[in-house]
Amino acid sequence: MRLPYAIRAALIAVIALFGAGLSQAHADSGSVSLVIYKAGWFIGGSGGSGTLNFRGRNYALSTGGIDYGLVFGGSKTVLRGRVSNINRPSDVAGVYGAAGAGIAVGRGARAIVLTNQKGAVLELSGRQTGLMANADLSGLAITLK
């Protein structure tokens, strides 16, 4: 009686591992473009919009966030890149956190990698225009419209 139970347990374990591997194997990627406006004086805020292109379809995005620390000025940032480790468009939605420092006077380059609570990874780069100095903790929330 013990042998069939052991074989059954081993078979269930193999199936579970195979199933977990398939769920990761089906994770996909897409492209993202965001336009974010940011302003602040010690505490700052940001808002904007963008587009997710996933499996040939476009999805409208909305962004918002808050910054804590040394924040001064205002800027417009245009970011483009890719999002990976998603299974459906709603996986992009969530809160992304980052700590950083920078300064932009006129035009400046930006590059950032962020992860949300669902495991989606944003790899973005682009240009920031305006006058902005920051050394802060930032949060960015992305929602599907």
- Domain containing residue 95: CATH number: 2.40.128
- Residue 5 within any structural domain of the chain: no
Cβ-in-10-Å burial (0-12, 13-18, 19+) of 40 comes to buried
> Sorting pLDDT into bands at 50, 70 and 90, what band is 22?
very low
Contacts for 105-109: CB closer than 8 Å, 24+ residues apart = 105/131
- Residue 7 within any structural domain of the chain: no
Residue range 48-94, pLDDT digits in tens? 999 999 999 999 999 988 776 667 788 888 999 999 999 999 999 99
The two structure tokens encoding residue 128: 């920031």
pLDDT at site 38: 85
Residue range 84-137, pLDDT digits in tens? 999 999 999 998 876 544 555 556 666 788 889 999 998 888 888 887 666 544
- Residue 21 within any structural domain of the chain: no
Per the structure, the complete domain to which residue 45 belongs is given by 27-144
The sign of the dihedral angle between the CA atoms of 32, 44, 144, 88 is: positive
- Residue 17 within any structural domain of the chain: no
**Number of structural domains found in the chain:** 1
- Residue 43 within any structural domain of the chain: yes
Strand partners, 118: none
What DSSP designation does 117 have? T
